[in-house]
Structure formats: C-alpha cells, structure tokens
Amino acid sequence: MQTVNPTTGEPIETYSEHDDETVENHVQRAADRFESWRDRPITERQALVASIADVLRENEEEYATLMTREMGKPIEQARAEIEKCAWVCEFYAERAAEFLQDERVGVHPQARTKVSYDPLGPLMAVMPWNYPFWQVLRVAAPTLAAGNTMILSHAPNVTGCAKAVEQVLADAGFPDGVFTTLLIDTETIHDVVADDRVAAATLTGSVGAGRAVAETAGRHLKPTVLELGGSDPFVVLDDAQLDRACEVAAQARVNNNGQACVASKRFIVVDDVYEEFRDGFVREMESLTVGDPTDEATDVGPISRADLLDTLETQVRETIDAGATVLTGGETLDRPGYFFEPTVLEDVPDGSPAACDELFGPVASLFRVEDEAEAIELANDSDYGLGASVWTQDLDRGERIAEAFEAGCTFVNEIVQSHPRLPFGGIKNSGYGRELAANGIREFTNEKTVWVSPSDGLDE
C-alpha cells in the first residue's frame, strides 16, 4: 500500500499489508476485548470518547496537515474536519447514556416491560478516503460508546490517517483491542465481514462496494449500514435570493475539491431565473483559486488519486461528446499533481454521465426546467437519494418541496450536510441505515424486549 501526494504526484510512504496471522490476531483481540468492554460502565466509556476530542484538538495542525498531504483537502477544510470530529465525540460523550437508557413500555399493570439496547460485538467498518478522520470517528464515537469494539479497514491512499486515528484512540486511553486498524485487501475485507466473531458491518463508499459488502454480510445474517454515493439536486426557484444562491452553489459543488457524497451536483433552475443564476454561478466558479492545498488562499485542491482524475475526465468528455456545453473549465490543469478545473456544464443530455452518475470532482451540471413541478420531478429522477436542497424565500413552499424530495436529508436554503444531532443517511442507491444522533448509536445494538410478570401470573 503506497500513499501518494496528489498535489505533486510524488510517493509519500509504503506500507505492508497485514498477513493472515496478523489479521487473525487482531480479529480475536477485538472479540476478546468486547467481553470486558461491553461490561464497562457507560460513564467510563463516555469519558474515554470525550478524551478523543481532547487529543484531536491538541494535535489539530498535525492531523490536518496529514490529511492535506495524503488526499489533497484544502488545509482550512482539514482543520474544520478535525474540529467536527471533536464535536461528534463530545456529543456522544454527553448523550450516549441518554440514547441507550432502557425505555419503559406500559403493557399491563402488573408487568414490568421495557426495551434495552445491548451492544452486538465487533463491528467491521470499511471507510473511504475523502474525509479520512470524520468518516471513521463519526462511526467510532457511537459504536464504542455503545459497548461494541471496532475493526477499521481504511482506504489505502490514506493509510497514514488510518494509523493516526488508531493512535488518537490509544492516546485517549482506550484499552488495546477496542479499536483496531487492519491493512488488508478487498478479499480479506470480505473474509473479516464473514467471520463468526464479527457481529456487523458498515461501509461508506461506492455503490458497487456497498453491494458487495452487504451481500457478504447478508449471507451470514449480519446487520449493515451503507452510506454510498449521491447526485444531490440543488433546486433554485423563481423567488430565491440569487446572489446568495450563486455563492453557496459554488461552495456546495467544490467543497472538499468536489469529492463529497453530499455535494450538490445537479443544479436545477426554473426558467424565470435560469440565465441570471447561470451567469452568477459561472462567475463564482471562475473566481475560485485552484492550487496547493497547503496554501491558505486555495479554494480547490487536487483530485485525490490519478485514477480518480482519469475517471472524472472521461465522464466529462463523454458528457460533452453527448451534446453538453462547457460554460467554464472542462479540462485537467497542465501542472504536477491531479488537478481539474472548476467546471460548469449546460444542456446536459439525458443518460450522459453528468446527468446520471456521481461525478467526484469540481464539476457542476446545470438543468433548466419550466416550473416547480418539473424541478421536483427532475430532482427525484435519479438512482441516488442521499441529499437535496431547495432555495426559495417562501419557507412554507420550501418545506413542502423538501418533503417531496426522495432523499434521506433535505434542506431549505442550506447546503446538505451531516450534523451530529440529526440522523444521516440515504435511500435508493445511496444506501440504507442511519448514522449520527440517537438513530446512529442504536444501529448496532440489540433492541431487546424484556418482560417481567409476577410468579403467580397476571390477573385477567
């Protein structure tokens, strides 16, 4: 496994994959540790989760620099990611016991009935590279607080981040075996998911990877949570505040160099304001500074890997060949590293990659529709269903449209985002299950019904 700096294309470090014996030892250690970790008072588990936040903040610049070096995230956004990780840890450190407390249910005057939430066991987590700390810790904080242990298989191009996260938890005081990182290939990932000692699996990544892990877990009757791709619509209505909508639209498309599952990708604009929005949006995209992500002035850094840049370039070229018009950008940059220009495409044909697929990079697709009804229809005409947003000054109208969107997360006058206090996840090819909030911590627990009746039975 080799990490490469996407800003320069130069190798950073090479890591050896774990051999079969090491994998076996790590899985057994996670299973053994679960037996004691599950019985540790939840207040102690919460305190350790809170300590993660302290370690993250103490070393914020180190971790942010590592992220930027391995996957090209602008340094300011990398710092923000570390802060968000600290926030989610603090959230579960405060609320885990509340979310997992027994729920009393009235069934009969003489019976004591409740629902309890018990941990399941070791969780296999397969995580992507685009938010290398957040993707891991948004799962780890609730999973570990609930009393499960966790085995991580991270994307190879952020192996340094994977090892850093493992060290963060060690420095926070977690016992050996509660959180384990495995450096393994795809075949071994499936072997671990299938292992009888592993209780459940979660994956954030592509649709293909999600289907494969879900199939393996399904054969062994193990619960899964999948957070897959997105092609989020950004709907602009005739009464939107256009200056703000244009500015936010550019941010929504290029945040994290355009490599975010919840990034707005399809910009659907009603006819009355289409041209004004189009012109303003193009100006905003053209104003962005592309360059070295370690430079504080950089808005857009590189695509994270050479093969991902090749895929993006192919998708854009096929869309143009199918009849789309390039309003700005459309090309790779002639410089070291894996850079692609901020791009806006117009007249995007049905069935082309920019209309149907997830483009992971700073490429926006513009669609002109006649009215609100057509906007909703086009927004929902996608195999994905992660997030969606609508922009309007009529809040009742916006809420009605948000409820009509076929997506797991819908927003009015806000960028689609994950928030520790709210459940996060999608439908259709964007996956299933929920992360964050109370929903996320309960996903990998046994919701157990407990019924206690008097020894002489219940009165009729």
Please give the positions annotated as active site: 227, 261
Asked whether 410 and 417 are in contact (CB, 8 A), the reply is no
Name the residue with tokens 């009529």: 394
Can you spell out the DSSP letters for 344-401? EEESPPTTSHHHHS---SSEEEEEEESSHHHHHHHHH-SSEESEEEEE-S-HHHHHHH
Q: How many C-beta neighbours within 10 Å does residue 457 have?
A: 8
Write the Ramachandran bin of 258: left for phi over 0, alpha for psi from -120 to 50, otherwise beta: left
Helices of type H across 220-300: 242-254, 271-286
Within 8 A by CB and 6+ apart from 110, the residues are: 453, 454, 458, 459
Question: What is the distance between the alpha carbons of residues 114 and 360, in angstroms, rounded to a whole number?
Answer: 46
- Length of the chain equals 460
Interstrand relation of 445-452 and 112-119 (parallel, antiparallel or unpaired): antiparallel
Structure tokens at 460: 């009729």
